[in-house]
Amino acid sequence: MSSSRTSSHAVLRLAVVVGALGVVFGDIGTSPIYTIQTVFNPEDPHPVPVSDSNVLGVVSLILWSVTLIVTITYVMLAMRVDHDGEGGIMALNSLLRRWNTTGKRGTTAVLASVGLFGAALFLGDSMITPAISVLSAVEGVKTIAPDFEPWIVPVTSVIIVVLFSVQRHGTAVVGRFFGPVMIAWFTAIGACGAWGISKDPTILKAVSPTYALEFLVGNFHYAFFALAAIVLAVTGAEALYADMGHFGRRPIATGWILLVFPACALSYLGQGALILADRDNISAPFFLLTPEWGRIPMIVLATGATVIAAQAVITGAFSVTSQAAQLGYLPRLRILHTSRSSHGQIYVPSVNWILLVSVLTLVFAFRTSAALAYAFGMAVTGTITITTILFFYVAHRTWSTPTWLLSLAAVPLLALDALLIAANLTKLVHGAWLPLVIALTAFTVMITWQRGRVLVTTRREELEGPLRDFIDELDTGPDGPLIVPGTAIFLNRGTTTPLALRANVERNSVRHEHVVIVTVEIETIPRVPATDRVEVDSLGHEQDGITRVIVRFGYAEEADLPAALGSLTPEQTEGVVDLEGATYFLSRIELRAGDNPAMAAWRKRLFIATSHVTADAAEHFNLPRDRVVMLGSHVEV
């Protein structure tokens, strides 16, 4: 019995590892396609001369950058810090928001803003990754058909349109094939890398870090600029951390150490050997590394792998925007859950179409993967640096490790990150400005929405008034409002009187026999335990049929209100509340720009414009459409 149970557990662990290979490593696993090619690109404004010593130095620098940033920073360190199992910038940011209520509020508030900018950079990454990944794969056709070049952009555009068009169907079915495809991919690039190494085993010297240091120190006048391209080898590192909540640390670490890292390392070494053997191979070292008879299958496999890489960041963008909306940084978004068994599979229509337009714009504007490379590098280095800063601060707050010991790791890793950022800043006019503009735009929208939301909430509280005072003053006698049979559920944000309830009583002079005032709270944790989901407060008016219910959801959960209310027991609702036949009353707010000096006029216009994409509350909370009543009012910002 124990042996069968052990074997079943082993099969389950293997399945999780395969699943992680299909989702987590698509981006970083396709980096070998374009990294070395970009470093030695002769059209680069700061080209690296092709020589034996430079090839050894570049390959060594790539290997050790991946080791320090991915293996040490992410796999060995960052993934040991989680927020109830969740990882990534938004998880670290939610931890900081929780701490901002106590202790060093100034420090945590500043770092929370830095983390929000990191999330905004990730959104820029999610626009650039599909463009550069698919472009780089389709460009491989040139190695077997040079006349294909005019068709690269059109074919890339068709693939991208198809990719975004199928998002609404979810990835549950296709996702089953992602793992095996990526296993085939890593096996193939590892085998081709080993074959390339056999052409000139001298490249194995690059495993020694001395070659990386010699290249960087001895040729700093161009090696420094080369860092902007070398950083492409670590693109997708954030996905390892962000997807930890779906797969866990151990399967991701296992997949990286046993398959992904060795395969990528062999590919980089093989490409280096190919260039050592013939310097003309710098034009497309990845595809030329494949024997001529296998190039067509490799191009097909590369296209599949890059589509998977694009899918990973698209899904990540859906998750980040959904969590940002739950945490109050964005308006409530229309979110569709594409899988009944996996909550993480979501589809956000507005984000999907914004990404599609953005990605197509990048493809037609830049036209080659090399032209997009520096834009990509800026997004990656910014995200990695911010994650590293937040990680060490969180580790300092949560671990008992001495500060001096943490500094031994923090100082060299952050120094490397700073060097990479500095190198990418030199490429501002060559495309590195793009992710910064995207991130600044998204960051401005998010902090404006957060600030405007606070102002609107304050104004609403003034209009609504205290809930307990309203109920205490409510006339339940013959001169009071007409009491009609049935149950009315009013959604409310806090401890004030719902505008819809006040309007019903004061304007319509009517109230229901049973009134349930529901306050939905989004916690700064990913998931709320079922035991803490609902809390009932009778408000001291049990005999009047008025009850307040607090429903709590985590920022990574679907806010299914009827399901949460369905967990109430008859004892909690006095046994008379009819949830099946209840009518839901929602307060619809129309925003207007006022003379409140707390926000600049342009930010007010941005806030009001952003509010127009707010999803319908009935759909967001999964309310039955035929039992929803909307009552509106105006609020000035």
Lowest mean pLDDT among 253-257, 541-545, 580-584: 541-545
More confident residue, 208 or 483: 208
Place of tokens 């009827």: 562
For residues 387 and 390, give the distance between their C-alpha atoms in angstroms, rounded to a whole number. Answer: 5
Q: State residue 62's pLDDT score.
A: 95
Radius of gyration of the chain (CA): 28
Asked whether residue 632 carries a pLDDT value surpassing 80, the answer given is no
User: Which residue, among 331, 389, 394, has the nearest Cα to 612 in the 3D structure?
Assistant: 331
Strand partners, 629: 585
Mean per-residue pLDDT, 332-338: 76
Q: What percent of the chain has pLDDT over 90?
A: 22
Place of tokens 């070395």: 36
Partnered with residue 519 across adjacent β-strands are 492, 550
pLDDT single digits (tens) 140-188: 888 888 888 889 999 999 999 988 888 877 655 555 678 888 999 999 9
Task: List, for residues 79-95, the tens digit of each pLDDT value.
Answer: 888 777 777 787 888 77
For residue 367, pLDDT beyond 90: no
Q: What's the whole-number mean pLDDT along residues 407-418?
A: 90
Structure tokens at 161: 């349109």
Query: Would you state the structure tokens that stand for residue 145, as one six-digit string?
Result: 């058909």
Rounded to whole angstroms, the Cα distance separating 135 from 468 reads 61
- Rounded to the nearest 10 degrees, the angle between the axes of helix 52-66 and helix 209-218 is 120
Residue identified by tokens 């967990």 is: 567
- Which pLDDT belongs to residue 478? 67
Task: Report d(CA 340, CA 302) in Å as an integer.
Answer: 31
Asked whether residue 103 carries a pLDDT value surpassing 60, the answer given is no
Q: Within 10 A of 309 (CB to CB), how many other CB atoms are there? A: 29
Residue 188, amino acid: A
Give the residue ranges of DSSP H helices in 73-219: 89-99, 105-138, 152-165, 172-197, 209-218
- The per-residue pLDDT for range 273-311, each reduced to its tens digit, is 999 988 888 888 999 999 888 889 999 999 888 888 888
**Which pLDDT tens digit goes with each residue over 499-536?**
888 888 887 888 888 888 888 888 767 778 888 888 88
Please compute the mean of the pLDDT values over residues 536-564 and round it to a whole number: 78
CA dihedral 323, 325, 326, 331 (to 10 degrees): -170
What mean pLDDT is predicted for residues 250-256? 88
Which is more confident, 560 or 206? 206
What is the per-residue pLDDT for 580?
79
Please give the pLDDT value at position 6.
56
Residue with tokens 């559920």: 489
Cα 127 to Cα 123, 369, 435: the distances in Å are 7, 13, 9
Select the more confidently predicted residue: 576 or 206: 206
Q: Which two tokens stand for residue 92?
A: 């670290």
Kindly list the structural domains of the chain, giving each domain's residue range(s) and its CATH number in brackets, ordered by start: 2-431 (1.20.1740.10), 459-636 (no CATH)
- Whole-number pLDDT of residue 70: 92
Question: Could you tell me the CA-to-CA distances from 409 to 399, 401, 426, 629 in Å, in that order?
Answer: 14, 12, 27, 57
For residue 222, which of 54, 390, 29 has the smallest C-alpha distance? 54
More confident: 325 or 190: 190
Residue type, 488: A
Q: What is the dihedral of CA 28, 126, 19, 181, to 10 degrees?
A: -70
Looking from the CA of 534 toward its CB, the CA atoms found within 13 Å total 21
343 vs 561: CA distance, rounded Å: 16
Q: Is 71 exposed, middle or buried (0-12, 13-18, 19+ CB in 10 A)?
A: middle
Say which range, 34-48, 114-128, 541-555, 603-617, has the weakest mean pLDDT: 541-555
Distances in Å between the Cα of 539 and the Cα atoms of 63, 516, 549, 551, 597 are: 64, 11, 10, 16, 37
- The sign of the dihedral angle between the CA atoms of 560, 563, 567, 569 is positive
Relative to beta strand 628-636, strand 583-592 is parallel
Q: What is the pLDDT of residue 148?
A: 86
Number of C-alpha atoms within 13 angstroms, CB side, residue 525? 9
- Three-class SS string for 293-353? HHHHHHHHHHHHHHHHHHHHHHHHHHHHHHHHHHCCCCCCCCCEECCCCCCCCEECHHHHH
pLDDT at site 1: 47
Q: Which residues pair with 245 in a beta bridge?
A: none
Of 577 and 121, the structure prediction assigns the larger pLDDT to 121
The pLDDT of residue 71 is: 93
Residue 105 is predicted with a pLDDT of: 61
**Cα dist. 551→540, 620, 624 in Å?**
19, 14, 18
DSSP secondary structure code for residue 536 in this structure: E
Mean pLDDT score across all residues of the chain = 83
